[in-house]
Structure 1
């Protein structure tokens, strides 16, 4: 076993990693005979049809069967026996064509799917130059910043529309006994309030009104639907209890 193979073995954490080997070019492979018991098969005659189905699937997908299912032989009790060197894709197809009732098959399918995804990601990164990689990171950061700006703009627009509605509400309702919505009262006090805070205080004001038997007056706004109006005394109590 080469030094590189020893390093790979030291990092193994899966039984499938434990039987993984590397050829002279550093390409990983699994032998069918060693993979067989990990897939829940004890006899080659039972496992061979799985390999045959996998090679058939490989051919039907337009892939080179010999590349992914390289034929080889091994000595078994002094006699040569059939075996295959499976690539990662070959191992994946073999797992996919095994008996789905075997729990070992599910574990193998999960293993080869994860390994294939990891290899694809590494290949994509290796194919990118350093400049391309930095450009991709910069593009991702720019998109995130743009998304945050859009969220801030949307929140600002909502607050501006709410404040515009409050001016109309105060003008209409002040003669009826100084009733205000939460944002209108905050404006009257010279306080800045977020949409989230306004919602929280509105729920508290509604609860106080119900507790005191005060009917909550509501007016319809075409942009926001029903907007609650609360007595000044209730709003003073709500705002005096803290920010939330």
Structure 2
């Protein structure tokens, strides 16, 4: 038995669209199912059911595929699954966490998903800050243009509110 931690990074693949995935056949070996594909398929089915329960799209995370293998001079088709990080995590969650390979997989995929979520959150925050700065710059430019066109300072708030209401499709009637 291999006592070193499984190397899940070395199993990562990338498709033509740049999406990372893992082959279930290769992953099964790292998770201690070296000679028990049918048993591993049962774990995959449980993970798929758990994803369905959590409203996670199955097709986006568990892509069933057929691969051709060579046995001597002959070739044959066997089933495989191409798995997302989330699918791998769910598979590890369905396994026995007392098995060192399963525990390592849980740790790896939990960390990978958390890191990805943190990166996404940071990216969204940067986008929000960029848009806020852009809106602030454009509001300054709009205010300057409005004042040059004769809008008085005390009416600038009404002018800005009318602009926002116009963007939202709300008609405002001003009473004099």
TM-score bucket (shorter structure): 0.5 to 0.7
SS in 2 for 1:57: helix
- Which of these residues, 14, 25, 35, is aligned with residue 17 of structure 2? 25
- Which of these residues, 75, 89, 93, is aligned with residue 92 of structure 1? 89
Matches within 5 A, 1:160-199: none
**Which runs of no fewer than 5 residues in structure 2 stay unpaired?**
133-176
| Highest RCO, 1 vs 2 (Cα 8 Å, sep ≥ 6) | 2
Q: Distance in 1 between matches of 2:39 and 2:77?
A: 18
**Corresponding position of 2:48:** 55
Q: Alignment length, in residue pairs? A: 122
Describe the superposition over 1:173-220 as per-residue Cα deviations: whole angstroms up to 9, x where unpaired.
xxxxxxxxxxxxxxxxxxxxxxxxxxxxxxxxxxxxxxxxxxxxxxxx
1:75 and 2:68 matched: yes
Matches within 5 A, 1:133-172: none
Q: Distance in 2 between matches of 1:84 and 1:20?
A: 13
**Corresponding position of 1:116:** 113
CA contact (8 A) 2:6 2:104 kept: no
How far residue 101 of structure 1 moved from its aligned partner, in angstroms, is 3.1
How far residue 130 of structure 1 moved from its aligned partner, in angstroms, is 6.2
Structure 1 residue runs of 4 or more that deviate by more than 2 Å after TM superposition:
128-133
Change (3 A) 1:52 1:115: same
Q: TM-score, normalised by structure 1?
A: 0.47
How far residue 128 of structure 1 moved from its aligned partner, in angstroms, is 2.2
Q: Distance in 2 between matches of 1:72 and 1:126?
A: 33
Q: TM-score, normalised by structure 2?
A: 0.65
